[in-house]
Structure 1
Amino acid sequence: MSFEIIGTYLVGICLLIGAGFALVGTIGLLKFNDSMTRLHAPTKVGTIGIGALLLASMIHSYVVGEGSLHELLIMAFLFVTAPISANFIAKVNIHKQSCDAPPPPPRDDTWSTLNVPEADRELAVEPTPQL
């Protein structure tokens, strides 16, 4: 098998994977009930689908002989901006109170601090280095 045939098969596989992920993301966007669950389908699954489609484009450009790295910039921008935009959309939904708020953290002094509960203090003591 030549490089062109293997590249063509790889492009076809990447296109099928990308289209499948994009289809699942679209179905999830349409089928989920509220905006918070709807948020996960396009940001998680859609990002992987678009990444596979861009990978197919890169492989095709190298098989043809006109290598292109523009797709890497698109992937990097997509992988950076998708989680940030999903976070902002989730915060807007929480502040508008259009969904259930996350549960409050436990009311103790060890949550999100460096304090250690009394029962675990002997486990948390670091041994002093011996010189």
Structure 2
Amino acid sequence: MTTMRDTDRALVQAASAVAKLRCRSASHTAASAARTAEGRVLTGVNVVHRAGDTCAEVVALGAAVTQGVGALETIVTVGDRGRTVISPCERCQRLLADHSPSLRVIVGPVEDPRVVPVTELLLTPDVAD
């Protein structure tokens, strides 16, 4: 576990702002914000559909790839219109670790979030609780 930086707090605020603005239906319930090492922030929202769901982390990662961004530095996902921090699901943890092995993930309650390496999430799924 590492210390939250001011840029990490700003990333939580960015994800929360997207969640408040775009997550207003049962089809979109979570928003992710990811930051590159250069400080660029990319966002995405989940897509819930009867054919299958796509997590917000996957959408943010897709936006990064589409825009030519390499590895991501930090990511956070929020739900409940920005009131909760959500840990990536196991599938997203694996995808994020494969794409950005040194990725930092913000987890924990929104009032007291903390940062963990994505590889630690893979080893101990309960770290986000």
Which structure: larger Rg? 1
- TM bucket (normalised to shorter chain) is under 0.3
Structure showing the higher strand proportion among its residues: 2
Structure showing the higher helix proportion among its residues: 1
